[in-house]
Amino acid sequence: MSQDNINPKITDFKDLVAWQKSHRLAVDIYKSTESFPKSEQFGLTNQIRRAIVSVASNIAEGFGRRTKADRIHFYDMARASLHEVQAQLLIARDVEYVDVNVYAKLEEKTIECHKILTGLINKTNS
């Protein structure tokens, strides 16, 4: 197996594992929030969806920036939005909009995204 197959060159934001994981998490959160009460359509449902979309979007935008400082700025914003998602998931769990088992899986994915995103920031900064 060649080295290229182990570490393919990153040429697009979609090649970033951080983007891939946040995109998958966004899809999972969209599906999980479909069952939220209709009265939350413009409240928690909208807020958590906007926050998770912001994670993947800021990673993509950061990738497209020309300077290291700009890239890190957008990756940091993505990480902050991920914290927002974590707080909103706690609220959704506590008001019983999301099952505790579903919450646990989503929370695990947010932690994984956070670790990968932090690694991307550190790698970009080095």
1 in a structural domain: no
**What pLDDT, on a 0 to 100 scale, did the predictor assign at position 4?**
44
Q: For the domain that residue 39 is a member of, what is the CATH number?
A: 1.20.1440.60
In a domain, 7, yes or no: no
- pTM value is 0.89
Average pLDDT over the chain, rounded to whole? Answer: 93
CA distance 100 to 84: 18
Q: What pLDDT, on a 0 to 100 scale, did the predictor assign at position 6?
A: 59
> With bands split at pLDDT 50, 70 and 90, how would you rate the model's confidence at 42?
confident
Average pLDDT (98-120) is: 97
Question: What digits encode the pLDDT tens for the residues 3-36?
Answer: 445 557 888 999 999 999 999 999 999 999 999 9
Number of H-type helices and E-type strands within the chain = 5, 0
Position 1 scores a pLDDT of: 38
Residue 52 in any domain: the answer is: yes
Number of domains making up the chain:
1
Identify the domain containing residue 36 by its residue range.
12-125
User: Whole-angstrom Cα distance, residue 69 to residue 75?
Assistant: 10
The verdict on residue 4 lying in a domain is no
